Each structure stands twice: as C-alpha cells, then as structure tokens.
Structure 1
C-alpha cells in the first residue's frame, strides 16, 4: 500500500508470509485466462502483486470478465466505467459479485 510505512513486528511477519505465498506464475495464468474471456481488449498489467491488485481494483476488469463469460449481446453488466471514485469502484465490484452469485 502506498499510504503505509514499513511494517514492524507482527505486521512485518504477516506481510512477509503473505509475500512468500504469492505465486507470479499463477498470476500470469490468471491474467491470460481473464483476458481471453474479453470481447474487448483492455491490456495486461505489469507483473507483480500490487500491479495485479490495482488492475482489478476499480472493477472494470471484473465486469468485463463476467460479460465475456456470457453470450454476445446478453451482457449482465450494462454500464462499465473506469473511475477513481471509491463508491463507483465498489458499485462495479458489487455488480460483478451479484452476477457471479446468480
């Protein structure tokens, strides 16, 4: 996270444990699978955990993914917008989750 300083003590141990579990090969497999589901091309993120998280953060990639899994013309998420406003990002992620549950 950009807003946080260095971790110490237990926080540092948890952070290191999480970083050890992160698999860059699985990241690349997921990116490839997600992008093959698009009807439109949105590009690939730079390698790395934080870049991958930022790529998914605003919900546009997730909404494009769920639309790509449905037949052409039957996209469940009608309006997809890239936004830096947190409530718009949460709204898009919420739309993705609702469709995924169905």
Structure 2
C-alpha cells in the first residue's frame, strides 16, 4: 500500500506532484456523490484526496457500483483487506467499465488507485462510466455523451460538391520569385 513505500524524491517527487496537481476535489466529490446515489451506501462524499482514496482503495464499493449498474457484473466481491484481493476487486471493476463502453484511454491501472499513484485517472474513469450508465437506465454524471449525427446526401449533391474549387487550393495569380535569395551569392 502507499504508506509502506519510500517517499519519492527528485524527479519522481516532481512527477508525482505534477500528477497530483491535475486532481480536482470538485470532480472527485461529484463522483462519490454519484456512487452514493447509485449504490445507496453510506459513504463520506468529501472530494479531498485522502477521503477519495480511503473510500475506494479496496475496490469493494467500485464492484458494488458496477453490480448496481448491471446486476451480476462482478460475481465475487472480495471483502478481505489483503492487497491482492483488493487489486482483484479493482481489476474486476476495470473489466466491467470497459465492457460498459469506457474507452481504454479513460481507464486506470489498479496500482493508480491501490498505491495512490494517480487518483485523477480514477476520477476520469468514474466520470466516463457515469456517462455510460445512462444506457443502463441509471442516472449519469458529467457532460452528456455525444450522439451520432448521420447525414445522407443524394448523388446529385455529391456530384455538385466535386465541381467546387476549395479556397484551400490557393492561387498562384501574380506569384513571382522576386525577393527570394536563398542560394544566391551575396554581392557587396
């Protein structure tokens, strides 16, 4: 766990500070309030980094969350506080999140949460899951996900577009090479 690790120094400490600076207490609080609403669990919804970590670190609440979104998503939730059991819970949550449609780039590694390496990525993942939850009849969080806007053009419209010369092609009207002296010798 994070408290058994040596404190970071030098470049590692600077990198960790940069990662931690991206963390938003407000977004974390919004995530915890959403989790509380979906699961009905009595949790502290303070968004500060310490509370966010303590509430989610064992992965139990995350597994309960995905089970509330879709029943039976995680068959066995490990209540044990042993490191590998907690990491199993977190991994099960991540597998469900991807199954629900959370893109890989919006998920996190188990150690990001368990070892408190990058809690911002955990917030991003929960926000993304919150957008997907509406497809399962649950309330969502964050901005509404964009929908497809399919446009159908007739053959006539497509042919008309081929005759238009785009302004991106530019013009060479009046173009000369005067003033260009690259490669010329200098006369003094």
Give the TM-score band, short-chain normalised. Answer: 0.7 to 0.9
- Give the 5 Å matches for 1:88-99: 88-99=85-96
Deviation digits for residues 6-59 of structure 1 (CA, Å, limit 9, x no counterpart): 433212222222232221111111111111111x41422654213312322211
Q: TM-score, normalised by structure 2?
A: 0.45
Distance change (3 Å), C-alpha of 1:81 and 1:26: same
Higher helix proportion: 1
Distance change (3 Å), C-alpha of 1:90 and 1:16: closer
Distance in 1 (alpha carbons) for counterparts of 2:89 and 2:42: 16
Is 1:44–2:41 an aligned residue pair? no
Distance change (3 Å), C-alpha of 1:44 and 1:9: same
- Larger radius of gyration between Structure 1 and Structure 2: 2
- Give the 5 Å matches for 1:14-53: 14-38=15-39, 40-44=40-44, 47-53=47-53
Gaps of 5+ in 1: none
Structure 1 equivalent of residue 147 of structure 2: none
* Contact 2:29–2:45 (CA under 8 A) maintained in structure 1: no
SS of 2:3 mapped into structure 1: coil
SS of 1:2 mapped into structure 2: helix
Q: TM-score, normalised by structure 1?
A: 0.75
Measured after TM superposition, the shift of residue 61 of structure 1 is 1.0
Gaps of 5+ in 2: 100-188
Q: Give the number of aligned pairs.
A: 98
Distance change (3 Å), C-alpha of 1:26 and 1:8: same
After TM superposition, the structure 1 stretch with the greater mean CA deviation from structure 2, 29-38 or 92-101, is 92-101
SS of 2:85 mapped into structure 1: helix
